[in-house]
A and B are shown apart, each in its own frame.
Chain A
Amino acid sequence: MDIDYRETLRYLGYKNQAADEAVLALVGQCWDELERISSPRSFWREYPLTAAGDEIDACVFKTKSLALARNLKGCQRILLFAASLGAGADLLIQRYEKLQMSKAVVMQAAAAAYLEDYCDSVNEELRRRYEDEGWYLRPRFSPGYGDFPLECQPAVVAALEAGKRVGITLTDSLLMVPSKSVTAVIGVGRTPLACEVKGCEACGKTDCEFRR
């Protein structure tokens, strides 16, 4: 994948400021190392969806969430999605945390951007596949976004057998390990969205430091 300087720098706290050459060089190095060491994997499964008001029934989990209900409005099906860069990225970050903290923070940001780009590319494939059959996808929405409870995480991970298929495990406190992992739901409906709101703009946390 091409080096995503923009997103990497955004995760490092840059808004529109230019980064100096040393930082850019570090981003490039980190991206190369990630490319060498990580083997991104993903998996998804489709389930029927029933929603009434803010009550969502996705077969593998039932929950109440206004934000999720808004995201899934007009959908009849739901995709559960999981992706991970694998343990390699975490090992790299851990290595540099011990050896060169400046590189560790850049690595961490680069890995986040790398994962996001990877998810986007898988998502794009899915979009094409579904649109060929007359279905339209909603933006990815992850447990923990807005009022979509993090407690749905174990059900999503279990339903996808994410441990053996993607390598995602959960700690007792529901953190995903390896840390550079994503789970999400993707709504599937018969109508295209007029204006796709995704990523930061879809999130209710308006005071977030990293908001675009």
Chain B
Amino acid sequence: MGILETVRERKLFFDGGMGSLLVAKGLKPGELPETWNVTRPEVLQDIHLQYLRAGSDEITTNTFGANGLKFGGDGEFSLKRIVTAAVENAKIARERFAKERRALADGLPADVTGTAARAADRPVSGAAGTEPCAYIGLDLGPTGKLLKPLGDLAFEDAYELYKEVVIYGAEAGADFVLVETMSDGYEVKAAILAAKENCGLPVCATMIFDKKGKLLTGGDVASTVALLEGLGVSMLGVNCGLGPVQMKEILKEILSAASVPVIVNPNAGLPRTENGKTVYDIDADEFARVMEEIADMGANALGGCCGTTPEHIAKMTALCRGKKQVLPEEKDRTVISSYAQAVEIGRLPVLIGERINPTGKSKFKQALRDHNIEYILREGVTQQDHGAHVLDVNVGLPEIDEPSMMEEVVRELQSVIDLPLQIDTSNIKAMERALRIYNGKALINSVNGKEESMRAVFPLVKKYGGVVVALTLDESGIPETADGRIGIAKKIYRTAAEYGIAKKDILIDALCLTISSDSKGALTTLETLRRVRDELHGKTVLGVSNISFGLPQREIINASFFTMALQNGLNAAIINPNSEAMMRAYYSFKALADLDPQCGEYISVYSGTAGTSSGTGKAEPSAGIAAGGKSTAGSPASAASGEMSLARCILRGLKEQAQAAARELLSQRDSLAIINEEMIPALDQVGKGFEKGTVFLPQLLMSAEAAKAAFEVIREHMSGKGESRQKKGKIVLATVKGDIHDIGKNIVKVLLENYDYEVIDLGKDVPPETVAAAAAKHHAPLVGLSALMTTTVPAMEETIALLRKETPWVKVMVGGAVLTEDYAKTIGADRYCKDAMASVNYAEETMQKPADRKQPHVSAG
């Protein structure tokens, strides 16, 4: 009987801590515990045996920190040797324990006096001697690195590190994989995928939550359970971080969300140091007592983590053995997640923002072609500010490489926005690339009733987890009747079940055909919605705005139809959340349908507004004042009409006002005159103030942001007239290899762009070769490098040396906290820039003849 069958029958007991026991046996500070698998196998075997005697059904291999980062090469401590030895030690302990047990069963004197008594109490599963008396869990701990984008380990590299351990551990004979002590959902995803793709063993995962029920990287219990179950773990739970007392609250939350058996492995208590030793606030008796409560609450597998010993486990098993096993009920909840939060699709209608989609949007298409990620991010943030719960992501354009674009956009969006994403593509490769690197359980758009579609999409849903939008069409097209659509929905549910995908993970798209061509279109859709809810007990989704295609003033129809659809049971709507009419329909429906207690949300959104603004958009901070203070009043701003001159708006860092002023000015003056006579002087003034120390960094940047906003208005105006403003030149910027702090570089970028340079931003942790290649490719005259730490300056030096060799024409400016004028010279830089303005000045100096200054190049397009 395997571990998964056993846990269905009775409470399962895991072992306890390892580290403190090894320290007691003489493990030195700084010594890697896993080396003892090879050098002191007898110690490991003995610890495992003690846990077995204490009543553990499971022993965890001593491979918590075993990975290729710590154990490379082929020597005594090769990773393979460490992992194989770890499993061997567990197996040897298990054999010795089985022997003790057999000896007892046969009535022979046990070879270890007294201790075998407990072994006799153990439930024996299967015929003695043929079934394992305990399960060996291959331990996968955190890599010790934080994943990108915050840290320096790529998701794919984390996957490879785990893959190696999994292969060795499975080969050596582990019974299941235990991913544990994880505090980052993204890292746990890498580990689980590595386990699932490289061995056939069951995979279990336990995470560290803090007292507030949060992961280190921000996820909560609901989002984590969604992620783990989506990835197909056999059991999940919580370990480390807290004592059993504090875990009770977390357990409650897990039990309310999970459908698979739940593991609880707490520390021995909350730790403190006394006379140099770590002690815990509760003892083994108290630990066991609280674990008994935890067993009664519904935990299915119980053990210990840091500080727990065979004594803790023995006392716990004594109290908990024989308790009735109650497995969590299958939860009928449709949940998707981002790294930070879960969104449940059910009672409350969920809004899926549709704006990240190039269809019919020339600007968006251009942004995709230009890899203008910022534009896409802003589309996302605006929708979030207007109340979207999920963002649809569609980047399909005939001329681009959709799989890599999809991956890039998903990576960027999930590093900035904490909403779950809906991966919207018909390109299966793009879908898989996105799902693989997605940090959570995604919404997937879409599958349909065609065999081919289901065959391609369902395996991905099963493997990566996700909730999938299912269009009610098939080989014979879109049925005209609700009957036809319900039939397809049933077929989709049936086929999904064959792949092991539950109904709750499918959203039936009832489809709407525009009423301009089929006057019954809306009624058919509404009937379908109703019947999916009432007859199939399923969940629904709809791209609402299709209903009005071909009609004038589409919002009018859309909003009314949206309300009708909600009333007929629509669970999730793909809409434009920036549309006032749609949001009004949403908020009023919730208030009317008793989904907004005391109309609280409605009131908070609409009280105090005159009915023109939804009020959901966050107001811009009342931005900057007085760069340069009083002197600004009469200076460069001369053509001021309206409230405030453009120059003054820039000086004071007022974005929206700057745009309005620019628009106003464009009706009176030439674009170039505005730039040269209003904007540049204002920027210069702020820059000078910064250099003198009267303007500070936040103000400098607020002014830059205001200028940028105004530039956008002017650029649009120029392109409307077929003009464009030529950039002054290309500058490559990078934060050097090994360095992941690039805020300084990003400040420089903002300012250089303001001064009309084309910045090629290579990001952070950039290898020298990449910098040199970019400088060569763009034939850039100037490269800017940043490094924060003394430890990364050598990488900067290396980069400069390579640039000198590969791109001898290039000038190099450097900056960063530890650099100085002298230091910069030593490593061969052309210029040390102490701050962002210094970089602008150097760029102006090297890349522009003084005469050009007042006459930016213009070319008619």
Chain A residues at the B interface, C-beta cutoff of 8 Å: 12-14, 17, 19-23, 25-26, 29, 37, 39, 41, 43-48, 59-61, 77, 86-88, 90-91, 93-95, 97-106, 108, 150, 155, 158-159, 161, 163-165, 167, 169-175, 177-179
Contact = CB atoms under 8 A, between A and B. Distances in A.
Interface in B293-310: 306
A165 to B, nearest CB: 8
Interface residues of B, number: 70
A179 B142 contact: no
Looking at B30, B150, B698, B740, the one whose CB has the most chain A CB atoms below 10 A away is: B698
A46 B276 contact: yes
Contacts of A100: 705
Given A22-B699, A60-B30, 20 more contacts: A23-B699, A25-B621, A29-B621, A39-B212, A39-B214, A87-B150, A88-B217, A91-B218, A102-B653, A102-B698, A102-B699, A105-B697, A105-B747, A158-B30, A159-B30, A164-B208, A167-B183, A169-B144, A173-B795, A175-B791
B622 interface: yes
B702 A102 contact: yes
Contacts, number: 176
B218 A21 contact: no
Looking at A47, A61, A163, the one whose CB has the most chain B CB atoms below 10 A away is: A163
A26 B697 contact: no
Interface stretch (B253-261, B363-371, B373-381, B557-565): B373-381
B652 to A, nearest CB: 8
Interface in B112-168: 142, 144-146, 149-152
Given A26-B621, A59-B29, A99 B146 contact: no
Contacts of B217: 86-88, 91
Nearest to A104: B743
Nearest to A22: B624
A83 to B, nearest CB: 13
A13 B698 CA distance: 10
A77 B623 CA distance: 50
B265 to A, nearest CB: 13
Contacts of B275: 46
Interface in B251-279: 271, 273, 275-276, 278
A173 B738 contact: yes
Contact of B701 (A29, A105, A155, A175): A105
B151 A171 contact: yes
A99 to B, nearest CB: 6
B741 interface: yes
16 contacts: A21-B625, A22-B652, A23-B699, A26-B698, A59-B29, A86-B217, A91-B415, A94-B415, A97-B746, A105-B743, A106-B698, A155-B29, A163-B144, A164-B142, A177-B150, A178-B146
Given A22-B624, A25-B621, A41 B30 contact: no
B624 A20 contact: yes
Contact of A175 (B183, B697, B740, B795): B740
Given A22-B622, A23-B624, A86-B216, A94 B702 contact: no
B145 A22 contact: no
B648 to A, nearest CB: 14
Contacts of A161: 19, 306
Contacts of A23: 624, 696, 698-699
B793 to A, nearest CB: 10
B743 A22 contact: no
Contacts of B381: 99
A159 to B, nearest CB: 5
Given A99-B377, A101-B750, A150-B790, A169 B416 contact: no
Given A99-B378, A169-B144, A22 B702 contact: yes
In the A-B complex, the 3 residue pairs with the smallest Cβ-Cβ separation, listed nearest first, are A102-B701, A173-B738, A167-B216
A94 B150 contact: yes
B209 to A, nearest CB: 10
